Chains A and B, each alone.
Chain A
């Protein structure tokens, strides 16, 4: 799925950080955080009170339950930790203003790397390797050797490499490209074009390249998107899916579990999907249908609101069978899983540039 010779180029620090921040908002905190005021930060419960919730509290325990070490990844060693076991993780995380807390049994990380080494195959690509790693972490968690709070993806099944590959076939077929370009207050914010060739992702091209290929643009992204998509098609590969939007819109949608959110955004052209592969049309249609049904059900006090939509639902069901379903392939809805994972992270909207 990922070529070992993947090319990555055409980004600068700003556009790359912007792209990362969509899926890992903590990266901005890490980049823009305060400098430590000592070489050896430490804290106790009294010092831990902070309005800024950040970082991870890590606790290492021996087999007999003794706490061997506790530290906060951004604030240092924790003195005199009072801890009653995994059920206490949420309490200590909040007490020490940590975004999350992890308990590790002594030696578990060595066990993890040893198991990983035994299971990896030479032919595995990075995505497959990561899935193997995720599976081992899940096993160790189920065995009680790793505990974490919170666990937003605890019920998300870990797909096999084959499942991910088939899902990728839908999202980005071979010899095609996927392009995402986002703007902030009308100015380019980030962009990426991914290419799949010989079954693997072999290129991630950033905005420096995309905008160089496109040449001069008009300045209105709702029109410029076609020029960009055509440029990617000429320089990289035929575009299978393009997503163009204001960054703030995408940030909000990624966190929004509400059915219909994406469909609404497309309908009012807050997001432009161009081209629109069949499964996206189906998904948007299904998304809209669910939203209508839910709303209508509320209005009508539980009346079967889907009945008038039966023809649409029938169309959707038929197409789903035809083009496949990412959720069905993976066993979970990746957008919903991402939304849950991002839900607790505050969205920091950059200020509009001065006029």
Chain B
């Protein structure tokens, strides 16, 4: 993983920092505020609707309001910005002041790219049509994004001109936001840019061939290889200098010998975005937006993204996923959440879709609620409901554009109230098994995708897998690594689910600390592998875990050069070809290691997930992804009493709990106590923010 120079790294929280992230919440003035928010787009509402909209947000129990700040809306001409002087709806300062008055905190996202279903994704038209700012295709053409209401050329993350322009934008936003950072104002959380995945034109060879990106490519190679000779050895080339090394423009490797330039190009994409976001964050800080945590959000299709989450965690304080899923995407919701839970600081959704834009797969209220509860079941600890208040180019928000709650708001109010009552963000979902995701193989999948602009990201976002479009060639290996790695992990995920054994995904490039404590690590390994990943998993095995790998011990490093790989202690090499292979291995591990299978449900179609604290289990989720209701039984470790968080139904059981779970529904059961007369643990009640005049104090756990 490329490291950043010391002066470029984001600062760690210092004493006296205004706001910090701690214990999966915002620490604000001695209080802990869970990351629960709702999106309100001030510029899209009548000014008179602001107060009712924010009051509805407060009544829903949310302590934080989120908003984008749209460059293309505030800019009325080159160098001319309106923050409310001419159009009162654009008065961001007044909106934030109102939020402060009502006792809310604010999560502000100034872009520059925001999407928000705005034309040009919220950028000024002059920016996207400035040739110096535009990303370039291999043939030097602009790279267009195909979304309605109009296709437009996307900016280059490498363009110096683009960074210059966005700096001026940040300065302007900073004049409004900086003076409203907590405690002077409500701003307690910021986001740098938005879904920085090359504007969904993230095929390996779609972009970026902008001159500034090519200069960056040469610098990247110079940093990666000690000398031009080392580069030439890896690339099987004879470049006279780094500057002479042109990036690949299409996949043309016939065998393993030709792979390295393509893998390096894929790795450069990750570096390009991360370093661009680092520059943006530094620029935000220069504009006065400093002292509060900074988030970055990744879009759908994270399985195929040209981004490294571990690398982005060196840029933003918290990296999360945006969720827009229907009920039929149960496995995707689960997989993404388990990845966040295993890889990041904690699982967070900067956008948890409520409703959808019109040019997206339609999502109903039941879809949004199912998505939210499934994500919570598998470890989500905070979210931003997007959109909370309806607006142009959206449908399905629980609050209408006049600020009035719709019937659907009731379910959200109940859910949010429950999450706050039990301090859900403080609970733990214990997993003894980690599936380690090999980034070096993901890069190969990206490079070998045959569908060009329909990238692995796009394919996954529309319901496929990130390897669906990959060529089937084995490239001289024993099999097509680009698809086999995903299949192996998927087989184990299926087998673990069937066995009722909780697991998470950990990115192969994540810090070694993320691998600590797991009793079993499972990771694909083929003829080539990342030396760093291999070292980390072997170290974890040495500390007491069992490493399951295979089908082969690597002999080549990530540059396809010969390398001696350690044979892992307590390792088990496996060949997983069929689902039955994975099932057998999981059963053997479960028996040998006595892996926990908490609250196991029958029939197996039901999935369970339990969240606990030091007092024991606090929340049991029972998930039915099927299209028909299921009557099931859940094995209990002790007699327990429950209350359904949404319906209020009370249930109890001694050795088992019998319950009915409707079709495509998640039941969230709060443990009220033990059924053997032991006193139940006292629930924690979080005070709600109250509307009052003057400086607001956010509600939170004292």
Contacts and interface: CB of A to CB of B under 8 A. Distances in A.
B579 interface: yes
Contacts of A114: 137, 139, 141
Contact of A39 (B361, B469, B494): B494
B486 to A, nearest CB: 6
B358 A13 contact: no
A224 interface: no
Contact of B151 (A74, A109, A120): A120
B250 A110 contact: yes
B401 to A, nearest CB: 7
B463 interface: yes
A270 interface: no
Among B148, B355, B394, B493, residue most surrounded by chain A Cβ atoms (within 10 Å)? B148
A36 interface: yes
A68 interface: yes
Nearest to A40: B490
Given A8-B393, A16-B395, A126-B150, 6 more contacts: A12-B355, A12-B396, A39-B465, A39-B486, A113-B144, A117-B141
Interface stretch (A25-33, A291-299, A314-322): A25-33
Contacts of A6: 148-149
A126 B129 CA distance: 16
B205 to A, nearest CB: 7
Interface string B456-500: 000000011101111111000000000100110111011000000
A204 B199 CA distance: 26
Contact of B472 (A13, A31, A68): A68
B450 interface: yes
B356 interface: yes
A5 B119 contact: yes
Interface string B325-357: 011111100010000000000000000000110
A244 interface: no
A5 B355 CA distance: 21
A73 interface: yes
Contacts of A133: 146
Contact of A16 (B143, B358, B392, B625): B358
A131 to B, nearest CB: 12
A69 B396 contact: no
B102 to A, nearest CB: 25
A71 interface: yes
A57 to B, nearest CB: 12
B627 interface: yes
Given A4-B149, A35-B331, A129-B151, A73 B463 contact: yes
Among A2, A33, A74, residue most surrounded by chain B Cβ atoms (within 10 Å)? A33
A38 B490 contact: yes
Interface string B518-538: 000000000000000000000
B487 A40 contact: yes
B206 interface: yes
A11 B359 CA distance: 13
B150 A4 contact: yes
Contacts of A27: 361-362
Interface in B359-397: 361-365, 367, 390-396
A17 B464 CA distance: 22
A6 B203 CA distance: 29
B469 A71 contact: yes
A155 interface: no
A129 B152 CA distance: 10
A109 B395 contact: no
B471 A126 contact: no
A113 B137 contact: yes
A3 B149 CA distance: 7
A15 B365 CA distance: 13
Interface in A1-54: 2-9, 11-17, 20, 27, 30-36, 38-41
Interface in A110-146: 110, 112-114, 116-118, 120, 122, 124-126, 129, 133
A109 B364 contact: no
A98 interface: no
A260 interface: no
A206 interface: yes
Nearest to A2: B149
Label chain A's interface by main secondary structure.
mixed
A33 B328 contact: yes
A126 B151 contact: yes
Interface size class of B (residues with CB under 8 A): 35 or more
A107 interface: yes
Contacts of A68: 450, 471-473
Given A35-B331, A126-B148, A109 B392 contact: no
B637 to A, nearest CB: 28
Contacts of A208: 400
Interface size class of A (residues with CB under 8 A): 35 or more
Contacts of B454: 109
Interface string B581-625: 000000000000000000000000000000000000000000001
Nearest to A73: B464
B402 to A, nearest CB: 10
A107 B151 contact: no
A155 B573 CA distance: 57
Contacts of B467: 40
B110 interface: no
A17 B490 contact: no
B144 A4 contact: no
B144 A13 contact: no
A179 B365 CA distance: 26
A68 B474 CA distance: 11
A7 B454 CA distance: 28
B119 A117 contact: no
Contacts of A77: 468, 483
Nearest to B395: A11
B247 interface: no
A8 B358 contact: yes
B452 interface: yes
B144 A122 contact: no
B362 A31 contact: yes
B396 A31 contact: no
B141 A4 contact: no
Among A7, A73, A110, A112, residue most surrounded by chain B Cβ atoms (within 10 Å)? A110
A76 interface: yes
A13 B362 contact: yes
A6 B626 CA distance: 38
A175 B625 CA distance: 49
A3 B469 CA distance: 35
A106 interface: yes
24 contacts: A5-B119, A13-B363, A13-B396, A15-B395, A16-B358, A27-B362, A31-B328, A31-B363, A31-B367, A32-B328, A35-B328, A39-B335, A39-B489, A41-B465, A58-B451, A69-B470, A69-B471, A74-B463, A109-B453, A110-B206, A113-B144, A124-B151, A126-B151, A129-B150
A157 B236 CA distance: 50
Among A3, A30, A112, residue most surrounded by chain B Cβ atoms (within 10 Å)? A30
A330 interface: no
Contacts of B470: 69
Contacts of A109: 451-454
A181 interface: no
A38 B149 contact: no
Given A13-B365, A71-B464, A109-B454, A206 B395 contact: yes
Nearest to B464: A73
A338 to B, nearest CB: 20
A71 B151 CA distance: 28
B142 interface: yes
A31 B361 contact: yes
A30 B464 CA distance: 12
Interface in A177-227: 206, 208
Nearest to A117: B141
B628 to A, nearest CB: 10
Contacts of B626: 35
Task: Please name the 7 residue pairs, one residue from A and one from B, whose CB atoms are nearest each other, closest first.
Answer: A39-B490, A109-B452, A40-B490, A117-B141, A13-B364, A110-B452, A17-B362
